[in-house]
């Protein structure tokens, strides 16, 4: 079975008037189908830039990638047809109704009007939005809004879902609901999930495997237990210990020489 | 091509429905030219405006161009708001043509402008405007082309900047001289020679003159020149807008 994501030497350099910034310096990554991958890193580590490249929002400066079976450089539209993306900011119009947003989104994936209407009902039922369909999006709570964001990303039944900081700003109850939803998507649909998050407990609880990036490179990757043991000092260490060791000053010097695959 | 048309239709439909949901905004957009028409128009009635037409045939076409200039120049504000809500990013990850994301918006802008223009002309007729229907229709088309050009530039700018604080000063500093030097309220024929000469460097002037000629039923060289300028401006602006929408963030 081919990998859901495979990248080789993916880089992205930004040029401004005064300087050149190498935001991503050569990411090599493989995400297997049906895997939930946690993509972690401190601010400025390159995780958002990587995510934006993988979702076709940003062209790589160099390197190659295959995403959901399509070449990222040669066939970005093919990639877009097969992925779902939930941005940190969401992406729904506050003044539009939930039904209107879901239906329009379905139409953008070339569903006919009757198909789009049917898909809207299905998604609303599946994500517990049925009673909210006629409400304007601005009237939704944070958790409801997030469910709508995910429903929009699932309109075309993608095989790969990108979630960018999906629980930022949510209350603990809504966070737990969302974790459950992500697990259900993988169990019921075999969906691959690429998750960026600042919350280490979230990565720990949800992800099958973690990739830690720092300074535009993969600093380490492995299961949560492997990272804790290798970098946190013991199997009983927290993920926070491993993360600090990997992205802190001392560890950073180590990883700059050679990314470590655990 | 058929995908582009379908995508454009879906995007346009989305924005038309949004606009219809806020009819008050459409009416308020029309308020300024209506105020000029009602409170400024009567002052011009017995003044020689240096042209062949009467004061209403001079003022109403100018107000139409003003309406097009203002509404389209600030169109990018809506895109900035959508960017802040993540809507633009979400749309750009769908397989919909990125050109359609621009064209759909432009279709809405031009349709809205036509509706406002129709209302403005009807009020003008109530005040005494008399113009051939064909001339009015040609004027609408010219203003529509001009508005699509400017809205395209406005959206391109909005894609490039990050906040309204960056966007507004650029638009204001370009819009005001354009309005003053286009002869929108009064024909530039009344201007001193130096000002008249400067105004020839402002493309909107040719469109204003062309719309005025169309409203007088004169379908000659001035109209042709104005149409050419409007089309050239549209080609350049749409080209730039398309490039920015395709490449933004990439």
ipTM computed for the complex: 0.84
Could B249 and A77 be called an inter-chain contact, meaning their C-beta atoms sit closer than 8 Å? no
Instruction: With a cut of 70, list the residues of chain B below it in pLDDT.
Output: 49-52, 248-250
DSSP category for residue B96: S
Q: Does B249 touch chain A (CB under 8 A)?
A: yes
Residue of A54, A89, A136 to mutate for B, most B C-beta atoms under 10 A: A89
Residue with tokens 């470590």: A260
pLDDT score, position B249:
54
Q: Does B84 touch chain A (CB under 8 A)?
A: yes
Q: How many angstroms separate the CA of residue B171 from the nearest CA in chain A? A: 23
pLDDT score, position A249:
39
DSSP B170-223: HHHHHHHHHHHHTTSSS-GGGS-HHHHHHHTT-HHHHHHHHHHHHHTT--SHHH
Q: Does B90 touch chain A (CB under 8 A)?
A: yes
pLDDT score, position A85:
95
Is residue A28 assigned to a domain? yes
Q: How many angstroms separate the CA of residue B157 from the nearest CA in chain A? A: 18
Residues in chain B within 8 Å Cβ distance of A85 = 90, 93
Could A89 and B96 be called an inter-chain contact, meaning their C-beta atoms sit closer than 8 Å? no
How far is A211 from A229, CA to CA, in rounded Å? 15
- How many distinct structural domains can be found in chain A? 1
DSSP B103-131: HHHHHHHHHHHHHHHHHHHHHHHHHT---
Could A96 and B249 be called an inter-chain contact, meaning their C-beta atoms sit closer than 8 Å? no
Q: Does B162 touch chain A (CB under 8 A)?
A: no
How far is A255 from A233, CA to CA, in rounded Å? 16
Residues in chain B within 8 Å Cβ distance of A166 = none
How far is B114 from B118, CA to CA, in rounded Å? 6
Q: Is the C-alpha dihedral spanning B53, B55, B56, B61 positive or negative?
A: positive
CB of B246 within 8 A of CB of B98? yes
Is residue A76 assigned to a domain? yes
pLDDT score, position A253:
35
Q: What residue in B sits closest to A107 (Cα-Cα)?
A: B10
Query: By residue range, what is the domain housing residue A160?
Result: 5-90+153-261
Cα separations (Å) of A213 from A9, A36, A256, B134?
Answer: 14, 17, 11, 65
Could B92 and A57 be called an inter-chain contact, meaning their C-beta atoms sit closer than 8 Å? yes
In A75-104, which positions are buried (b, 16+ CB within 10 angstroms) versus exposed (e)? ebebbbbbbbbbbbbbbbbeebbbbbbbbb
The CATH number that applies at residue A242 is 3.40.50.300
Q: What residue in B sits closest to A162 (Cα-Cα)?
A: B93
Could A89 and B84 be called an inter-chain contact, meaning their C-beta atoms sit closer than 8 Å? yes
Q: How many angstroms separate the CA of residue B127 from the nearest CA in chain A? A: 38
Nearest to A55 among B86, B93, B95 (CB): B93
CB of B70 within 8 A of CB of B32? yes
As averages over each run of 10 residues, the pLDDT of chain A (262 residues) reads 92 88 93 95 89 94 95 94 91 91 94 95 92 94 91 94 89 87 91 91 90 91 86 74 69 35 34
Instruction: Report H helices in chain A.
Output: 47-54, 76-82, 98-108, 113-126, 142-153, 172-189, 200-206, 224-232, 239-247, 249-257
Q: Is the C-alpha dihedral spanning A134, A138, A139, A141 positive or negative?
A: positive
Size of interface A-B (CB pairs under 8 A): 69
pLDDT score, position A198:
82
Is residue A101 assigned to a domain? no
Selection from B106, B135, B125, B139 nearest residue B37 by Cα:
B125
CB of B107 within 8 A of CB of B13? no
pLDDT score, position B25:
74
List residues bridging with A212 in a β-sheet.
A40, A220
- Domain ranges in chain B are 2-247
pLDDT score, position A255:
36
pLDDT score, position B246:
81
Q: What residue in A sits closest to B94 (Cα-Cα)?
A: A80
Q: What residue in A sits closest to B16 (Cα-Cα)?
A: A96
CB of B158 within 8 A of CB of B79? yes
Residues in chain A within 8 Å Cβ distance of B93 = 55-57, 80, 83, 85
pLDDT score, position B51:
66
Q: Which of 9-68 (B) contact A at CB < 8 A?
A: 10, 13-14, 17-18, 21-22
């Amino acid at each position: 079975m081919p990998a859901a994501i495979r990248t080789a030497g993916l880089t992205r350099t930004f040029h401004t008037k005064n300087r050149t910034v190498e935001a991503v310096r050569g990411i090599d990554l493989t995400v297997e189908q049906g895997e939930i991958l946690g993509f972690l890193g401190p601010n400025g580590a390159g995780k958002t830039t990587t995510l934006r490249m993988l979702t076709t929002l940003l062209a790589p400066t160099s390197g190659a990638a295959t995403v959901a079976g399509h070449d990222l450089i040669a066939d970005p539209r093919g990639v877009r047809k097969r992925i779902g993306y939930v941005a940190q900011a969401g992406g729904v119009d506050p003044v539009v109704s939930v039904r209107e947003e879901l239906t329009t989104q379905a139409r953008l994936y070339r569903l006919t009007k009757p198909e789009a209407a049917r898909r809207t009902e299905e998604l609303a039922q599946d994500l517990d939005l049925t009673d909210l369909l006629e409400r304007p999006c601005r009237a939704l709570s944070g958790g409801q809004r997030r469910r709508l964001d995910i429903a929009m990303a699932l309109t075309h039944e993608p095989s790969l879902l990108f979630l960018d900081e999906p629980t930022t700003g949510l209350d603990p109850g809504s966070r737990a609901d969302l974790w459950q939803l992500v697990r259900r998507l993988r169990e019921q649909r075999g969906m691959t999930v690429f998750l960026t998050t600042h919350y280490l407990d979230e990565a720990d609880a949800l992800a099958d495997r973690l990739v830690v990036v720092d300074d535009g490179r993969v600093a380490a990757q492995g299961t949560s237990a492997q990272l804790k043991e290798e970098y946190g000092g013991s199997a009983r260490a927290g993920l926070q210990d491993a993360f600090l060791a990997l992205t802190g000053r001392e560890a950073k010097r180590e990883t700059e020489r050679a990314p470590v695959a655990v | 091509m058929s995908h582009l048309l379908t995508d454009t239709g879906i995007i346009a439909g989305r924005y038309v429905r949004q606009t219809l949901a806020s009819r008050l905004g459409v009416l308020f957009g029309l308020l300024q030219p209506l105020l000029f028409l009602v409170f400024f128009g009567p002052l011009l009635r017995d003044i020689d405006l240096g042209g062949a037409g009467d004061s209403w045939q001079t003022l109403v076409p100018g107000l139409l161009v003003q309406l097009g200039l203002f509404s389209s120049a600030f169109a990018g504000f809506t895109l900035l708001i959508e960017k802040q809500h993540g809507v633009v990013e979400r749309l750009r990850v769908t397989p919909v043509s990125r050109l359609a994301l621009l064209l759909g918006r432009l279709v809405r802008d031009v349709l809205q402008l036509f509706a406002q223009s129709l209302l403005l002309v009807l009020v003008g007729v109530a005040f005494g405007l008399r113009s051939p229907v064909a001339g009015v229709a040609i004027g609408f088309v010219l203003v529509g082309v001009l508005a699509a050009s400017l809205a395209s530039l406005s959206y391109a700018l909005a894609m490039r900047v990050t906040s309204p604080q960056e966007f507004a000063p650029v638009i204001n500093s370009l819009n005001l001289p354009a309005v003053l030097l286009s002869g929108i309220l009064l024909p530039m024929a009344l201007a001193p020679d130096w000002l008249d000469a400067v105004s020839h460097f402002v493309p909107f002037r040719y469109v204003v003159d062309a719309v005025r000629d169309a409203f007088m039923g004169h379908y000659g060289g001035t109209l042709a020149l104005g149409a050419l300028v409007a089309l050239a401006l549209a080609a350049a602006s749409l080209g730039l807008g398309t490039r920015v929408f395709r490449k933004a963030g990439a």
